[in-house]
Amino acid sequence: MITPVIAIVALLAVLAGFHVLWAIARKQAGRAHGAGSYRDASRRRVPRFCTLGWGHGKGCSGQNEIQALPSDKIMKTHITRTVELPTNTAIAKIAHGPFNPGCGLHDSSSAKAPRPAAQHLAIRILWAGLAIFLTLAGTPAQSFSVVSSNLWYSGTKAYNYSTNTLHTAFPAPLWNIENFFQSAVGSGYGVIALQEVYDGASHVGGLDVTQHIQSRMGDGWTSRFGGLMPDAGGSRGNAVVTNATVVKNQYWQFAWDSGNLADYGSEQRGAVATKLDFGGRRLWFISVHLAYENPVALAQVFQLLGKVKTFDPDSPVIVAGDLNIRNRSPGTGNPELTYHKMAAAFGSAGFEDVSLHLDTATRISATPSSATLNGQLDYIYLYDPHNRLTVTSCTARWVYDYPYVWTDHRALLARMHWN
């Protein structure tokens, strides 16, 4: 990332190089003037000699070797002053007046000596350095926010902490969730991974929840919804909402058999994968919701990673969502062991767990009404083989307006920037 400090240091380095080259150029110029000229009583520099120029552009250079002028070559011109040259060769008269058309003879006080090459190089370096500095200083690091949130039946539930009661309400929970997204992302780039999203279901009044969230986020935002199964007169699935440019998108369904729920889970699950462009920098972003049953969820992790392997291996990949694998007990099905297997699977595929930026005390993002479900369920994993991204923070936040909590999962909010 180019920071103002780096830009200033780069500018100082350019200025230092300019100063050194300019000093060298001045020394070179001083040696040349010392060999080919001297200052007269009026402090004007006078050449020690002048060669006659027989072609265009030739004449007194002040940098050639001292040489005596043959008398038959001296031109008769109007002389305005006479200077005695301190040489052992002769006393010469320097013409300061009209030139003979065939001779480049002139007084150095009326001519501009060419700059040494070092001076030209120093000036070019200075201008190039200033241009680079202005470019870097005016280009902030491109950062973006990643949010992952399970909407708890698309924002139709509310849990009252003061009475320990669960309420069904709409649209208040959804509006509060959308307000949270707006404040969490701010005015920069943002990508939101949504789970338990409904489109056209009766309990959300037939609303397309993904489109509603997109519109609340403002101009320039777009969304992709992947319906997985019919539910309440509509469809339920996952979604991605972003103000980056969507280049490609894919909708995945994990293996499921309604006749074998023990092996495939009680519900159809899947993911939405989008290839996003951040002003020329691209990555894959996946919003996923795995099965409630730990063993099935772990099997779906391997299915997900198998699909990720079809992507460009040099492209960063972010997986965000409700993985339903708890990182600690108590729970059912030995959740800690399942968690370690999941972590090992992602790790062997080159992913890092962004949520490890959370401290241990905040890594609890499950249903608040049930102590048996304590433990982290939501994760953000990053695959970045060429270190194009830097994770600056990750926090877990309840979406609430006391005494009401509007989701049964803490939302994960990560900040990243492109290197």
In whole angstroms, give the CA distance from residue 175 to residue 183: 13
> Do 396 and 249 lie in a common domain?
yes
DSSP assignment of 13-52, as one string? HHHHHHHHHHHHHHHHHHHHHHHHEEE-TTS-EEES--PP
- The verdict on 251 and 124 lying in the same domain is no
Q: Please give the tally of structural domains in the chain.
A: 2
CATH number of residue 353's parent domain? 3.60.10.10
Q: Supply the pLDDT for residue 135.
A: 54
Does one domain contain both 103 and 166?
Answer: no
Q: Which pLDDT value is given to residue 146?
A: 96
Which domain covers residue 112, as residue numbers? 4-137
CA distance linking residue 178 with residue 198, whole number of Å: 15
Task: Give the pLDDT of residue 100.
Answer: 43
Query: Beta strands of 184-307 (E only): which ranges?
Result: 189-199, 222-231, 234-242, 245-253, 270-278, 281-289
Q: Which stretches of the chain drop beneath a pLDDT of 50?
A: 1-4, 33-36, 38, 48-111, 136-140, 330-331, 364-372
The answer on 198 and 98 residing in a single domain is: no
pTM over 0.75: no
Tokens of 380: 């953000």
One domain, residues 128 and 160: no
Asked whether residue 105 falls in the same domain as residue 55, the answer is: yes
| pLDDT reported for residue 94 | 39
Residue 381's SS3 state is: strand
pLDDT at residue 138 in the model: 45
Are 335 and 382 part of one and the same domain?
yes
The residue among 119, 137, 155 that closes a domain is 137
pLDDT of residue 120: 64
Instruction: State which of 104, 122, 137 marks the end of a domain.
Output: 137
Each residue of 271-296: pLDDT tens digit?
999 999 999 999 999 999 999 888 89
173 and 79 housed in the same domain: no
Do 101 and 154 share a domain, yes or no?
Answer: no
Q: Is there a single domain that holds both residue 352 and residue 401? A: yes
What pLDDT digit, counting tens, does each position of 234-270 carry? Answer: 888 999 999 999 999 999 999 998 888 888 888 899 9
Q: What is the pLDDT of residue 204?
A: 82
Angle between helices 294-308 and 335-348 (to 10 degrees): 10
